[in-house]
Amino acid sequence: MVRDFSLFTSPGMRPTANGDPHAAVACVHGGPPIFYAPHNTRDGRGTWVITRARDQRRVLQDTETFSSHRSIFASALGENWPMIPLELDPPAHGIFRSLLNPFFSPQRVTALEPAVRERAIALIDRIVASGTSCDVMRDFAFPFAVNIFLRFLGLTDHRLETFVGWGKDLLHGNAVQRLTAAQRIVAFIDELAALRRKRPADDFMSFVVQAHVEGRPLTDGEVRGIGVLLFVAGLDTVAAAIGFDLAYLARNPKDQEWLRSKPNRIVLAAEELLRAYPTVQMIRVATRDLDFEGAPIRKGDYISCATMIANRDPAEFERPNTVDLAREENRHTTFAHGPHRCLGSHLARREIVIGLEEWLARMPAFRIKEGTAPITHGGHVFGIENLILDWSSPTPSRAEEQMRS
């Protein structure tokens, strides 16, 4: 029940040109439904890996046996405090979730949609006007997705590149980079909270510093835990999802053209792309000794519920390694499952759909620029960079030139 597997270092997981880490993880479905991976964390600590989607749902639903408190961010600082509500267990989780839910409700997201669409249009029109190729992560995915979360915090774009750099160092950097990024993020959130206590504004952080739970104001630690979670969650995941989606469409011109001709299918297609290219590994901690599908899990063991593994489960999805943009039955776990289902899932979905709608409506047929290769990588959050898209007239092949002559 021990396998040499890591979402950080296994083949296909290290930063690789033209890699496909999502396809690489599918190999685990040829083995046992649960196994121990001795190096499946950034610091080399082992985890139990759950491969079946139904078993992952069992784990994510059972908050008494599998705790969410693992202090992934705080551990980079050598500390032990939770991001809230992500790393809280019931009943505290429910209290804070109820406090924050209204900010991410479908109604709130609908109200934000005009601003989200305006941002997408402005960025795409600027890209089209500037030439016939772009680095889509730098020029669109990050400034589009991160901008929305900065608005939640009441911040402008003038430090966007700095914030994105902190996120990259935190999620994908070495130990020194992680520590430095974590320190800078905490200092920034603490400073922002202090500012909003003195000068409230109509933004999320002002709400947090003024909020009460169970009849008392939030502690400084609770404000920090909420602020850090929102900040970190907004720096990478949605941008990465958009990058993987556009990379797929760039490589599959028939699907690209199909969506252009049927824009009403983009919502359904976005769900399939979410299934095929999820970005997050969820970790739980066993609260007691137990036998799980034959695995001798002990109290304190880490359990990995990687969305990219569950979403390639052949028992759950027909042809799981095939991207079928017309797929109807799509019970993916990209936004997790159970009480900790992603708080920002409604907003993330709308961002992705709007981004694809406006990109396909305004951008000519595009492909990956010849002579370039996107870099993909695994980890707690999968990512893609150096995605250079080109929409110039393609250079005719030698065979085409001979036919014309």
Q: Where are the domains of the chain?
A: 85-277+319-404
What pLDDT is stored for residue 399 in this prediction?
42
What pLDDT is stored for residue 405 in this prediction?
46
Q: Are 305 and 340 in contact (CB under 8 A)?
A: no
- CA–CA distance, 124 with 162 (Å, rounded to integer): 22
What pLDDT is stored for residue 216 in this prediction?
96
Q: Are 313 and 25 in contact (CB under 8 A)?
A: no
Neighbouring C-beta atoms of residue 339, cutoff 10 Å:
16
- CA–CA distance, 23 with 21 (Å, rounded to integer): 5
HSE-CB at 325 with a 13 A cutoff on CA atoms is: 20
Contact partners, residue 289, CB within 8 Å, separation at least 6 = 296, 297, 298, 299
Contact partners, residue 337, CB within 8 Å, separation at least 6 = 56, 57, 60, 61
Closest CA to 284 of 92, 93, 71: 71
Distances (CA, A) of 58 to 28, 53, 62, 71, 207: 19, 9, 6, 22, 34
What pLDDT is stored for residue 227 in this prediction?
93
Global pTM value: 0.93
φ/ψ of 280, rounded to 5, equals: -120, 135
The token pair that represents 302 in the structure block: 């880490």
What pLDDT is stored for residue 70 in this prediction?
86
Residue whose entry in the numeric block shows the structure tokens 């603490």: 190
Angle between helices 345-362 and 253-261 (to 10 degrees): 90
- Digit-by-digit pLDDT tens for the chain (405 residues) are 999 999 999 999 999 999 999 999 999 999 999 999 999 988 778 999 999 999 999 999 999 999 999 888 888 888 999 999 999 999 999 999 999 999 888 998 898 899 999 999 999 999 999 999 999 999 999 999 988 878 877 787 888 889 889 988 888 888 899 899 999 999 999 999 999 999 999 888 999 999 999 999 999 999 999 999 988 888 889 999 999 999 999 999 999 999 999 999 999 999 999 999 999 999 999 999 999 999 999 999 999 999 999 999 999 999 999 999 999 989 999 999 999 999 999 999 999 999 999 999 999 999 999 999 999 999 989 999 999 999 997 655 444 444 444
Q: Are 151 and 115 in contact (CB under 8 A)?
A: yes
φ/ψ of 338, rounded to 5, equals: 85, -160
CATH topology of domain 85-277+319-404: Cytochrome p450 (1.10.630)
Q: Are 138 and 375 in contact (CB under 8 A)?
A: no
Angle between helices 266-276 and 345-362 (to 10 degrees): 120
- CA–CA distance, 229 with 218 (Å, rounded to integer): 15
What pLDDT is stored for residue 41 in this prediction?
87
- CA–CA distance, 26 with 29 (Å, rounded to integer): 6
* Beta strands across the sheet bearing 34-37: 34-37, 47-50, 302-306, 281-286, 66-67
- CA–CA distance, 377 with 109 (Å, rounded to integer): 30
What pLDDT is stored for residue 400 in this prediction?
44
What pLDDT is stored for residue 395 in this prediction?
55
